[in-house]
Structure 1
Amino acid sequence: MTVATDVVDPADFEESAEKTTGKTPLIIKLLVAATFVVILNETIMINAMPSLMVDFEVTARTAQWLSSIFMLTMAAVIPITGWFLQRVTTRTAFTVAMVVFGTGTAIAGLAPTFEVLLAARGIQAAGTAVMMPLLMTTLMQVVAEKDRGRVMGQVTLAISVAPALGPAISGLILQLGSWRLIFAFVLPVAAGVTVFGLRHLKNVGETKVGPVSWTSVALAGIGFSALVYGLSEIGARSGGQLGVIIGIGVVFVAAFVAYQLRLQSSGSPLLDLRTLKHRNYAVTLVLMSIAFMAFLGSMILLPLYLQDIRGLSAVQTGLLVMPGGIAMGLLGPRVGRIYDLKGARVLVIPGAIVMVAALGALSRIQADTPYALILVVHVILMVSLAAIFTPVFTLGLGDLTPELYSHGSSLLGTLQQVAGAVGTAALIVILENRSSALVERGSEADAAFVGGLQWAFIAGAVLGVIVVALSLLLPPKQEGAAASVH
């Protein structure tokens, strides 16, 4: 085992955190700022699609690949981060993530062709994929158990507000000129965060020496990217080709899992699945996955309705749903404090119930539903999710032993990608099948679409009921790793 020269023992950090109750370590503030910047980039391109289509003379279908490549790269890279974060120091991981992200941003801003821009977005995504597991892993290492909820709430603030602000910021920038200005805005911000971080960031914990399993890398990259892509294309494409892509994804993911179980005996799996032996982590993993299925699936439905039925632009749609994202983020720190005092159940159970109610309310949506009512229900939905995500993240990762933190963060991130794709695919299929059935019965296209939308939101509410049931399995109070069932 090798140790970085400026390594700080996690136990010392725990003791320090105990003495500085109420304060967030500087290292977490730096990583939250960096994570905010890279996550902001995920949604900042939404409003630039029309101008990109004109400049590069591509179709909307082709332009959509700028979002697809980001998603596919994230799905391929996140499973590797558990191994990566154990093999390099905190500063090295931060530097790699931000330099890769910055390089992709610079190339994107200067891209002479659509293909170059597409590759640049993939490079950006590779850097982004490292930041979230790095933040979560470091948080678990340096923050005392009794303060983790509060600090995790601040993380929720960053990851909720950033994507909500992305479309609004890009809309304002596009008023000033070309879509290239978006990258010109992001690059200096990312560079500033990187320079400041390198001046103040300290290494945490120890690094391990161990070989990388390139077979695992290949299986994970092909399997998860094929699975997420295939699922995300349901509704946009049809035919046997899509089934083949999904089938390939399933086979490669299954092979990846089997290979990781085999590698566990040698002590160097790419993704350590021994995390699943910890009861609370396993429960929160399933709960989080189903909640993400309902959440992301529903978040696809609302913009479809607002733009296709109500005729709103992408900017107007972004502004209407932005208050929900901001409310979710602002509530995060308060939810975290309650978690530190009361545990997960008192937050997750009512949060899940309110989520079901909000999705149920959206299932009553009509072609002329007032915008104010849609906004209020959406805010309620996002607030309910704040009561779920912060406690579940904190409880699940807190159930693990320190050497599994990076693998736990990686597995959570991986299943979020897969669950989001599954949820989106399932709800879109329900929407389209119901709409087609109504058209065959003589309904007009818009009325049929609204009818399909209602059924899709009902399906989301059913997923919410499952989340309620799973939340009853959570412990009354937070339990440490020592109390886990192995």
Structure 2
Amino acid sequence: MNHPPDKQAGSDPSTDKLDAAVFKVAGVVVLGAIMSILDITVVTVAIPTFQIEFDTSYAIAAWTMTGYTLALATVIPLTGWAADRFGTKRLYMMALTFFVLGSVLCSFAWNIESLIAFRVIQGIGGGMLMPLGMTIMTHAAGPQRIGRVMAVLGVPMLLGPIGGPILGGWLIDAFSWHWIFLINLPIGIVALALAYLVFPSDNPEPSESFDFLGMLLASPGLALFLFGVSSIPGEGTIASAKVLAPAAIGLVLMVAFVFHALRTEHPLIDLHLFRNRSLTFAVLTMVLFAIAFFGAGLLLPSYLQQVRGESALAAGLLIAPQGLGAMLTMPIAGRFVDKIGPGKIVMVGIALISVGTVFFTQLEADTSYVAMCGALFVMGLGMGCTMMPIMTAAIQTLTHQQVARGSTLMNIINQTAGSIGTATMSVVLTNLLKDQPFAGPAIASNSNPAIAAQLPPGAIEAGLKQAAEAFSNTYIVAVVLIVLTLVPAFFLPRTKPKSPEVADAPAAMVH
């Protein structure tokens, strides 16, 4: 077995506290993760700008998001093998380079097609940053401190939703849309230099052969399936050839991959990890949670901009209490996860998110912003106890060699479930809005006063009321999914993780 990189870095995983060496590694990883996560939320705010700038529809402009997601999904399966083959440091620096190069190219896009293509290049780099960062940090800290390490890695997951809409709105208003991509250039150069200096040297021992057949099945399968799912909002129905054909082909390829992976000694995505009971229940919890939470995450920015007529910057500022709530609980949750296991923490987190989300099922066209911020803060408190503890539950019982494959698996699950959640909520909301005659014109009148003049008296007020009702009813779907998450979460570990020696032993695999 290789010596873990933490030994080379001078970190002692047997101590209970995070030391300077771990914090240095964590700082570099967080910098890279902040870039990739900020970029997702920054572009969400910019979609209306892309529509005007490139004279295109919302459905086509939204592919600047979808293209990035598809690239992420395609490249994540390769990360575990590539980390073993080339070493995590080299691969991390290569992923950063791809991400920064894609960012610069995006800023030079001349039409919507070129922007989507450059976002794919950006996604190839961005897709590897998170699983590689998790692997590097887990190795540096050792199993005993994974909870606290995951809490540190959770920082960009919080800063993204808070800072993304605010930063994106400000850059677009004050400068131009090009700067939401160009800002990655100086941050990326700093992150590259620090990764070179701080990360321990690679000592890869590539004993495994590359699963070429697995790659031909898994990556296109995942990309085609997500392409089909992501096309649902644009088509307005599941029963469309553009949705069904790619989704069905993708599903067939993924099923074929499952059969292949279970019969192969070193598959691209290690499905044998599901023998680990903790990881299995963590995956089930993550699937339901990501569908509900990431799907619902799209609703409020749209409600604030479309129904309430707020700017992108104001919408970003109003959503900030959620991140503030999570910032309070995340470090506490990380500490407790290392002491009592993730099970109880995650249950408390899901309960808090459920309570906060129920408030949004009562949304109206004039709901109090103070009450809304209070509900968001409660949801944030729950989020800090949920996202990273679920990741910890999956990874803390894996051996040193399994960590890269485990973090890759969890990131694939997270990305896929998030895409399904986004598509589900978009379809529910779109269909509910279609059923309301005045909702569409009333929403459009917020950005185009000329439309308001053409509507009969009282139509805007009625339309905004109908639109708010559509948003509140969509939140009911999110509440049901979040409550269902309690079922697999009940089976997550409720004891302190085993010592590093035990975690490295084959006995850690619970059959």
How many Å apart are 1:204 and its aligned residue?
5.7
Question: Aligned partner of 1:179: which letter?
Answer: W
How many Å apart are 1:293 and its aligned residue?
1.1
Please name the residue that 1:128 is paired with: 126
CA distance in 1, matches of 2:40, 2:68: 8
- Is 1:17 the equivalent of 2:13? yes
Contact 1:34/1:190 (8 A) holds in 2: yes
- Of residues 34-43 and 14-23 in structure 1, the stretch that sits farther from structure 2 once superposed is 14-23
- Is 1:485 the equivalent of 2:510? yes
1:456 equivalent among 459, 466, 474:
474
Distance of aligned partners of 1:34 and 1:225 in 2 relative to their CA distance in 1, 3 Å threshold? same
Q: How does 1:50-449 map to 2 (within 5 A)?
A: 50-203=48-201, 206-237=204-235, 238=237, 239-241=239-241, 242-263=243-264, 267-434=265-432, 445-449=463-467
How many Å apart are 1:279 and its aligned residue?
0.2
CA distance in 1, matches of 2:368, 2:360: 12
Distance of aligned partners of 1:97 and 1:301 in 2 relative to their CA distance in 1, 3 Å threshold? same
Contact 1:138/1:204 (8 A) holds in 2: no
CA distance in 1, matches of 2:315, 2:325: 17
Please name the residue that 1:475 is paired with: 493
Contact 2:90/2:202 (8 A) holds in 1: no
How many Å apart are 1:32 and its aligned residue?
1.7
| CA shift digits 1:4-38 (9 cap, x unpaired) | xxx75567779712247232512232112221122
- Of residues 54-63 and 296-305 in structure 1, the stretch that sits farther from structure 2 once superposed is 54-63
How many Å apart are 1:257 and its aligned residue?
1.8
| CA shift digits 1:40-90 (9 cap, x unpaired) | 222223344444444444343332221111111111111221212111112
Please name the residue that 1:32 is paired with: 30
- Structure 2 counterpart SS, 1:235: helix
How many Å apart are 1:230 and its aligned residue?
2.0
CA distance in 2, matches of 1:14, 1:253: 41
CA distance in 2, matches of 1:354, 1:38: 28
Contact 1:158/1:329 (8 A) holds in 2: no
CA distance in 1, matches of 2:199, 2:5: 15
Question: Aligned partner of 1:196: which letter?
Answer: L
- For structure 2, the residue ranges without an aligned partner over 5 or more in a row are 439-460
- Of residues 41-50 and 161-170 in structure 1, the stretch that sits farther from structure 2 once superposed is 41-50
CA distance in 1, matches of 2:9, 2:285: 30
Distance of aligned partners of 1:205 and 1:285 in 2 relative to their CA distance in 1, 3 Å threshold? farther
- Structure 1 counterpart SS, 2:13: helix
- Structure 2 counterpart SS, 1:135: helix
Distance of aligned partners of 1:133 and 1:391 in 2 relative to their CA distance in 1, 3 Å threshold? same
Please name the residue that 2:484 is paired with: 466
Distance of aligned partners of 1:356 and 1:175 in 2 relative to their CA distance in 1, 3 Å threshold? closer
How many Å apart are 1:229 and its aligned residue?
2.5
How many Å apart are 1:284 and its aligned residue?
0.7
CA distance in 2, matches of 1:424, 1:30: 30
Distance of aligned partners of 1:108 and 1:288 in 2 relative to their CA distance in 1, 3 Å threshold? same
- For structure 1, the residue ranges without an aligned partner over 5 or more in a row are none
TM-score (norm: length of structure 2) = 0.86
CA distance in 1, matches of 2:299, 2:277: 33
Contact 1:395/1:478 (8 A) holds in 2: no
Question: Aligned partner of 1:170: which letter?
Answer: G
- Of residues 20-29 and 317-326 in structure 1, the stretch that sits farther from structure 2 once superposed is 20-29
CA distance in 1, matches of 2:170, 2:90: 35
Distance of aligned partners of 1:29 and 1:204 in 2 relative to their CA distance in 1, 3 Å threshold? farther
- Of residues 451-460 and 413-422 in structure 1, the stretch that sits farther from structure 2 once superposed is 451-460
Instruction: Name the count of aligned residue pairs.
Output: 478
Distance of aligned partners of 1:162 and 1:84 in 2 relative to their CA distance in 1, 3 Å threshold? same
